[in-house]
């Protein structure tokens, strides 16, 4: 039941750019346990059924969380796109201090490396509308692209401090994926094809990402943390909307959502401390 509830929360936050699913696992003190189980489903040439059962329970919770929250995200981007984006940016910025615990020491070289990594990814960005009205044809080239994006998403999601949705927003498919999820119904069962391919890639990415993070953190935790900080800060800068309107009412609205994002991060900090 605990894994199901944690999975439900991870599923919800994976749709929010700036919030890492891996961070949620850290918050509930199960990150090491989950990554161990992921990397040890197959042991001594046989399946560890207990580990597999726990991971399946977590995945079911994640799927239900994603399906529940997709329509809410779709609605927010439809009615208040700039305010929604600023809220996500605030979540990123106010979450940065949480990474500087545990004897953190600033390392400018690796901080810059993280920022440059996201900056380079931004040059690959595919421009998309907040709301999708025309869907691309589902052919082999598109499915391969979606599988690759799912793998990148899963790799980023499992690493604490990196939001898979944030990376997907930069690379391009975030709004299309969100629209598939929000509009999935019996009338649109064909959406199951790209969604299934995407989340198969996502599962592969989670496995790869957990191995990568454990390796890098074991190699040098402080350098890894500085890289993540630079990555997150540059992500917040890149995601700033270019069409902000600075009149009196809008400025108040922008400040309110940023303050709301601050309150949300503080509530999380109170719960976890």
Cα-Cα-Cα-Cα dihedral sign, residues 37, 17, 70, 28: positive
**Which phi and psi angles does 47 have, rounded to 5°?**
-80, 130
Of 90, 38, 81, residue with least CA distance to 209? 38
Mean pLDDT, rounded, of the chain: 82
Mean pLDDT of 9-31: 74
More confident residue, 192 or 118: 192
End-to-end distance of the chain based on CA atoms, in angstroms? 23
- The 10s digit of each residue's pLDDT in 197-232 is 998 998 899 888 888 887 887 888 888 889 888 887
The pLDDT assigned to 10 comes to 85
- The 10s digit of each residue's pLDDT in 140-193 is 999 999 999 999 988 888 877 677 877 887 777 888 888 888 787 777 788 889
Query: For residue 259, what pLDDT band results from cuts at 50, 70 and 90?
Result: very high
Record the tokens describing residue 80, joined without a space: 């208040």
């Amino acid at each position: 039941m605990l894994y199901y509830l944690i999975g439900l929360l991870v599923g919800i936050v994976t749709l929010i750019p700036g919030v890492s699913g891996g961070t949620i696992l850290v918050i509930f003190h199960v990150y090491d346990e989950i990554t161990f189980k992921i990397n040890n489903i197959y042991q001594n040439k046989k399946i560890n059924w207990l580990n597999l059962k726990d991971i399946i329970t977590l995945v079911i919770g994640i799927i239900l969380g994603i399906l529940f929250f997709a329509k809410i995200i779709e609605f927010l981007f439809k009615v208040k796109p700039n305010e929604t984006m600023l809220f996500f940016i605030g979540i990123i910025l106010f979450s940065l201090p949480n990474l500087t615990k545990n004897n953190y020491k600033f390392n400018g070289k690796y901080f810059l490396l993280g920022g440059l990594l996201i900056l380079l990814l931004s040059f690959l960005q595919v421009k998309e509308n907040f709301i999708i009205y025309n869907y691309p044809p589902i052919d082999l080239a598109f499915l391969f692209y979606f599988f690759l994006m799912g793998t990148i998403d899963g790799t980023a999601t499992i690493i604490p401090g990196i939001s898979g949705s944030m990376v997907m927003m930069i690379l391009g498919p975030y709004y299309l994926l969100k629209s598939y999820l929000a509009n999935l119904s019996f009338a649109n069962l064909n959406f199951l094809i790209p969604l299934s391919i995407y989340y198969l890639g996502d599962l592969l990415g989670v496995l790869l990402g957990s191995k990568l993070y454990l390796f890098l953190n074991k190699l040098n935790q402080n350098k890894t943390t500085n890289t993540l900080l630079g990555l997150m800060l540059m992500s917040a800068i890149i995601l700033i909307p270019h069409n902000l309107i600075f009149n009196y009412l809008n400025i108040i609205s922008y400040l309110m959502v940023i303050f709301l994002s601050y309150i949300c991060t503080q509530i999380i900090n109170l719960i976890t401390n």
